[in-house]
Amino acid sequence: MEGFPRITLDPEVMGGKPCIRGLRVTVSTVVGLLAGGKSHDDILRAYPYLESDDILEALAYAAWRAEESELSLAIS
């Protein structure tokens, strides 16, 4: 996936949910921990195989996925 090299999508890992570097840690897990008040350091302690850049890219990916797009509808 262009622009998010640390985010992987594999049907064999976590049911195809976006994960960090093919690990069994989903983007939604990381974002949920941050939303719940955990700090970057808290997450890195809980998941020592993650890197700070993984957390930042998970946030960037989540923001990209949440973007809205407008479609023009034809009214007849």
For 10-48, the pLDDT digits (tens) are 999 999 999 999 999 999 999 999 999 999 999 999 999
Give pLDDT, residue 73: 75
Residue 12: partners with Cβ closer than 8 Å, 6 or more residues away = none
- The Cα-based distances of 9 to 38, 42, 55 in angstroms read 25, 25, 16
Give pLDDT, residue 64: 92
> Domains in the chain, please, with CATH?
7-66 (1.10.10.10)
Give pLDDT, residue 67: 85
CA distance 39 to 41: 5
